[in-house]
Amino acid sequence: MNSSLNAARRRWELDEARTDVVDVLVVGLGATGAGAALDAASRGLSVAAVDAHDLAFGTSRWSSKLIHGGLRYLASGQVGVAWESAVERDALLRFTAPHLVAAHPYLLPLTPAVPRAQAATLMAGYRLGDALRAAAGTPRRLLPGPSRLAAGRALALAPSLRADGLRGALLSWDGRVVDDARLVVALARTAAAHGARILTRCRALALAGDGARVRDELTGDEFDIRARAVINATGVWAGELTPSVALRPSRGTHLVLRPGALGALRAGLHVPIPGERARFALVLPQADGRVYAGLTDEPLDGPVPDVPEAPESDVAFLLEVVGTALDRPLSRADVAGAFAGLRPLIDTVDTADTAGTAETAGAGRTADLSRRHAVLRSPDGVVTVVGGKLTTYRRMAEDAVDAACPHARASRTARLPLVGAGPVRPDTPGRLARRYGSEAWALRDLMRRDPALAEPVALGITLAELVWSVRHEGALDAGDLLDRRTRIGLVPEDRAAALPAAEAALAYP
């Protein structure tokens, strides 16, 4: 079947979903839900998957975009979580999404804030992480090992580092996805290619073991989707549909710094957070020139918002921490935008059966809560998959489908290439190759047929990419185009400037 998602396909598949009984209904189309839809569809099961908003509307678009090998979990003794992360990182790098996921270098500057003994411990940790890499089967070619750099070399990679007192830096490598939202789109489209019905703007109002009451958010129409198994993959909102699932959301804020705010930065940075043992702020240069800096970890009290706000207190905290490693402090003027996401951390596992991994985290600080995932079956038979992280979405999806459909054949996704993972034509420009992989030629073809589509919109993104998103990536409105298919919308003035282009793409014949 074709992998293209668009308004016309949504319409006809919505009609079918009202009458058919599917093997699996997946609720939520973040990385976990889209992964579950793909896992189930590629096992030969019939699947409907709904999201109240858009693909990657929730936490999955607000991550740091690290596909991490789980080093920090080793540090806290969670060996199983670390191993799972290293294995899943390997699958993404080598088999499933080599066009979207690649190694990225990070520097930990050895400033006076990092005593020699701590530097030695950190290097030992990196070496352990490298051993995990090797054990998971990831070749050094794809993920180089750690090393120690002299100060001059560190400054060549990160010229904005404070040179005064710099003894050098620890260089480490980890995986990174070019854009978390693009990973979700690739998962959903690959699921669609295996026959899954991917239905955005469809809110589940109530779940049961044999289906859900759903509202089409575009028309207000309510109807039932009947299914033999139901998976709740609504992340931080899971408890709203399955009250036995208790979560302790934790807010993580990133700043979007203007291109050039940190000079010609060629590596990410790990900046020690003053007063914290082994916690670091991250500085993450993006391919489009912007630099993200994160990451806070604050418990959220009260109702879970659709789109969390990044408070000024988080912005000030991050500017201050990152500034400690730089030759000039960052100011509010360096901040072009900010975003926050909510980690769906598991609090307690109430009365539900645990079908996968879960633990009771009690009332600890959210930064200390487990990042393991849980698969929980509630008394009405709904299977909820929650917790975990972007890196391990595939394993979470596999565990959820195993629990929901115990008689299905085994998961096939560990080696299943996502849309775009095929060979890339040699003359493909790097930016298109990194975002579209083997589909990049089709984008170039669009531009050749209508040169007006080669018109740049923002950040090197062309009108052709927006038209492509409408035709093939399920974008239904300007928000889908600017906030999820591209990330132009992270900076409010860029978003406003690009709005007419998004409208033009939606109207393009």
Residues that bind ligand FAD (CB under 6 A): 27-33, 50-53, 57-60, 62-66, 68, 203-204, 233-237, 241, 252, 295, 341-344, 388-391
Spatial separation of the C-alpha atoms in residues 289 and 286, rounded to whole Å = 6
In angstroms, give the least distance from the CB of 36 to ligand FAD.
9
CB of 503 vs ligand FAD, minimal distance in Å: 24
Kindly state the smallest distance separating residue 212's Cβ from ligand FAD, in Å. Answer: 8
Which residues sit opposite 208 in a β-bridge?
Answer: 211
CB of 160: closest distance to ligand FAD in angstroms?
Answer: 23
- Closer residue to ligand FAD (CB): 84 or 439: 84
Inter-CA distances, 108 with 167, 174, 182, Å = 11, 13, 28
Q: In terms of Cα–Cα distance, which of 1, 90, 104 is closest to 46?
A: 1
| Closer residue to ligand FAD (CB): 95 or 508 | 95
> Which residue type does 223 have?
F
Interatomic CA distance for residues 422 and 39, integer angstroms: 19
Q: Which is nearer to ligand FAD, 168 or 249 (CB)?
A: 249
Nearest distance from C-beta of residue 147 to ligand FAD, angstroms = 23
> How near is the Cβ of 7 to ligand FAD at its closest, in Å?
18
Least distance to ligand FAD, CB of residue 220, Å: 15
Beta strands in 359-450 (DSSP E): 373-377, 383-387
Token match 């404070």: residue? 162
- Going from the C-alpha of 289 to that of each of 171, 341, 436, 458, the distances in angstroms are 21, 22, 19, 12
The residue nearest ligand FAD at its CB is 30
Give the C-alpha separation, 59 to 237, whole Å: 10
CA–CA dist 65, 48 (Å, integer): 27
Residue ranges of E strands in 249-397: 250-257, 268-272, 280-285, 291-294, 298-299, 335-343, 346-349, 353-354, 373-377, 383-387
Q: Closer CB to ligand FAD, residue 252 or residue 323? A: 252
Distance CA 333, CA 503 (A): 30
CB 323 within 8 A of CB 329: yes
Q: Minimal CA–CA distance to 387: which of 246, 256, 186, 225?
A: 246
Residue 37 or residue 262: which is nearer to ligand FAD going by CB? 37
Q: Would you say 177 or 419 has its CB closer to ligand FAD?
A: 177
In the complex with ligand FAD, the residue whose CB is nearer, 157 or 177, is: 177
One DSSP character per residue, 297-309 reads: -EE--SSPPSS--
Pull the structure tokens for residue 279: 């916690």
Of 68 and 99, CB closest to ligand FAD: 68
- Helices (H) and strands (E) counted in the chain, each on its own, are 15, 23
Dihedral angle over CA of 382, 386, 390, 395, nearest 10 = -60
Q: How far is the CB of 52 from ligand FAD (least distance, A)?
A: 4
| Residue closer to ligand FAD (CB basis): 56 or 491 | 56
Shortest Cβ 408–ligand FAD spacing (Å):
21
User: Closer CB to ligand FAD, residue 318 or residue 498?
Assistant: 318
Output the smallest distance, CB 489 to ligand FAD, in A.
16
Nearest distance from C-beta of residue 233 to ligand FAD, angstroms: 6
The residue written with tokens 């596992």 in the block is 349
Nearer to ligand FAD, 160 or 234 (CB): 234
- Alpha carbon of residue 244 to chain centroid: 26
